Copies of this chain bind each other. A is one copy, B any other.
Amino acid sequence: MMKEEKERLDELFDRLYPLTRSITGPGLRESLDILKEVIPLDVEHVSSGTEIFDWTIPEEWRVYDAYLVGPNGKKYADIDETNLHVINYSKPVDKRLSLEELKHHIYTDPESPDAIPYVTSYYDRKWGFCLSKNTFDSLPEGEYHAYIDSKFIDGKLSYGHCKLEGKSDDEVLISSYICHPSLANNELSGPLVLCALYNRIKRWSNRHFTYRFVLAPETIGSLAYLHNYSDELTEHLVSGAVLTCLGGYKKRVNYQKSRMGDSLLDRVVLNEKKFGDIELEVRQFTPINGSDERQFCSPGFNLPVGQFAKTVYGEYDGYHNSKDDKEFMTIEALIDSADHIETILKRLKYALCYKNTKPYGEPFLSKYNLYSSVNAPDTRNDSTDYIQNDKRVFLNKALRVLNYCDGEREMVDIAEKYGYSIKDLDSIIDTLVEKKLLKKIGI
């Protein structure tokens, strides 16, 4: 199964990587089509010129060819080699010009001199090429031929989404972005882990929450999605997370809390960090950088959406440049991320509000085979079904859960207060629910 998942992700990566994605256009649509083979995305479109809050959907960018030829006939940039060579949303050009003139149209990343940077100019019409700093420094004097065959048309922005229904119509959002061409960690890691999570959660028995999966171009795409679905999200969303930068060499998962800072998922992750066994780093929400959580968490929406990442901006030198490839990202790292995130998502239903159904005095536990009927030093708590090795530990947890589940506190807060991880409590909760001593509130 894991083998199969790994192969599927590897194949998906190789097909998606070379496509010339942008925030609109054919590369984006082709990418969504490929992903539809794996998860049943419903793809929707928003036309150029549509006003989306303070923004306007731009014209669609189409690029057919792009290269830069030097005085010596050498191709210094060529879209066929890598689509990073041309500025995303570059306007067309067919011009011969001196090195001096050309330099105003060349972008490099001085901090990563052997890498080709990824540069965009969505909202201001420019043309330009991206070169490694080393190549740039080696450009000879003479006449260059700059050629970009691109055009802007009234087109559309596309995004895809789908749901896995649960017992409750309370929703958990899993969202990622799809708009960067030829970047691995800071693009494909998100959609690929999203695919893995979809296929895992689909197999969960007794799924409590409904899971909503969204793939859209970053920023403008999530704004377009919010434009169409913010009412649904506001009504149903219990928690959610944006997936970004989930590959790389880091072992632990990095979670950024939602703007509100105390969503169910925020608290479950914090509980896991303090008392569980998944290694986690937890950050506060910031509007300064990051991904689509900046839109979900803008003050008008203030949705309970966090962010899962692994190796983020500042932790690797391939950010937004050609070093961000599969060798750096690795499929194994993605599976590791999917494992951790799936485990955390499984905790969510045990973090909800439960109510003791026998709240007046202690329940008569012997009746439920949860307590020994003989109270003696050497047989205490014997002869019960559910209390095996760690008898007293089970009983103590059950007594705490029963006492504190007064229908006012969520389990994650009870766990937090008394130093339990959700994992410490999940089987007790299942047992007490099965014996009808505990009842989930609101279902």
Contacts and interface: CB of A to CB of B under 8 A. Distances in A.
A53 B302 CA distance: 44
B400 A287 contact: yes
A340 interface: no
B226 A360 contact: yes
A55 B373 contact: no
Nearest to A367: B54
A361 interface: yes
A442 interface: no
A400 B226 contact: no
Given A361-B54, A364-B54, A109 B356 contact: no
Q: Is the interface of A mostly helix, strand, loop or mixed?
A: loop
Interface stretch (A114-122, A143-151, A342-350): A114-122
A110 B377 contact: yes
Contact of A373 (B56, B111, B121, B367): B121
Contacts of A140: none
Contacts of A299: 356, 359, 402-407
Interface stretch (A2-10, A194-202, A269-277, A290-298): A290-298
A321 to B, nearest CB: 8
A378 interface: yes
B288 A377 contact: no
A37 interface: no
Interface in A353-408: 356, 358-364, 366-367, 373-379, 396, 399-400, 402-407
Nearest to A407: B299
Interface in A282-315: 286-288, 294-295, 297-302
A320 interface: yes
A376 B54 contact: no
20 contacts: A53-B358, A54-B362, A55-B361, A87-B374, A107-B379, A110-B378, A111-B377, A112-B377, A121-B373, A130-B376, A219-B362, A226-B360, A287-B399, A287-B400, A294-B403, A295-B361, A297-B403, A299-B403, A299-B407, A301-B361
Given A299-B359, A299-B407, 4 more contacts: A53-B361, A226-B361, A287-B403, A295-B362
